[in-house]
Structure 1
Amino acid sequence: MKILVVEDEPKLCTFVCAGLSQAGHICDQAADGAKGLEAALMNDYDLILLDLMLPSMNGFEVLKNLQDFGKMVPVIIFSALSDTENVIRGLDYGAIDYLRKPFELDELLARVRTVRRRALGQSATKLQFEDVEIDLLSREVSRAGKSIPLSNREFALLEYLISNANRVVTKTQILEKVWDMNFDPGSNVIEVHLSQLRKKIDRDFDVPLIQTVVGRGYTIKGKRLK
């Protein structure tokens, strides 16, 4: 998933983003509320992790502005404000979860996995598309029973393509969902990663799944079984 972390403590923000990246997520950072709101409005995130005590604009104001702008994105608050009043206020302002500081990284990652499962519309942790099987927790991929090791970025690309199966996705859409906001759109890195993913997913099999639609983008053809 592509996740925005809005946190003004640099060490904590770096620690959280490192953990998210190791778990295969794409992580952007914002050090104050105004920058976080701007990033959330300009980019397409799957989840926002939001502190409440922020410079320039507090977390409650960020939540209210997201609602006012109609930006429907799941938000998990993580804050040292642990009293019941603030928890209720945060949830009433639209957050889907509230994690009290200090917290264990494993607990945060578990809550992120819950958001991912909800986004997929299922409680299961595995996907099957044609003869491709994906374990979202262990991040293991196989095709026709053959294990296929993927990098974090290749895994994110494959998951995004399968979630949009039989639809053409543009380079811009891939940039928004699989790369961070500092990525240079003029780079050919997307093409390179897609080429590598194709070699791993399609090269040794009779039926290729990933296709280029000239002038439009990319698609993966087939049937999602679960």
Structure 2
Amino acid sequence: MHQQIRLFGAIAVRPAVIALIPQFESATGLTVTVKWEVNPTVKKQIEAGEAFDLVIINPSMVQDLTATGKVKAASQVAFGRVGMGVAAKAGSRPLDMGSVDAFVHALKSAETIAYASDGTSGGYFSGLLDRLGIAEEVRPKLVAVPGGQTASAVGRGEAELAVVPVTSILAAAPEVVLAGRFPAELQSYIDFAIGVSANPRDPEAARQLSEFLTSASVDQILAAKGVERR
């Protein structure tokens, strides 16, 4: 049996999955190596030949990889979903995010707003600005930051606020705090699914990791890291 499982996943779920891996490794004696990119990049790299045993990205992307023979048919399972939030520097003035009007006011009042321009969350936020009719006013304030560094940019003083999945904000503590989640009317949940490679080095090991990550026993840890189960 191969002792190493190659996990390739989306940056948004990194904080939650990283918290679970030691438990899995201790229970099985297997080792998990990880690589993280924004959702579109994960898909592109796998399509280009990146070797992996297990992938965690958007469900539609797992389906695409299954259709092209990269992911094993019928191996897709739901992992969870992550909501969108606003990050602020620890110690900064509290923000009101309790309504659409308050949310819009916070965006208009901020001097700079970091967002993951190359990720799923960045695409949603950009479209949301258009829907709210504030794109012309807010877009000049936007600071494009590579995925995985968006929330941390606030802690480094590169932006006043950051719009990013809640998981990334919680992981950037204590320098960064969750100023608030998107109002319910504007909230967008990013869904994630797991797929097993069509050519895993060790099919049984990959299956074990997939089952562990989707088991009810880890729900509490995932929730604390910002991943919601349906």
TM over 0.5: no
- The structure that is strand-richer by fraction is 2
Q: TM-score, normalised by structure 1?
A: 0.29
Q: Which has the higher contact order (CA 8 A, sep 6+)?
A: 2
Q: TM-score, normalised by structure 2?
A: 0.28
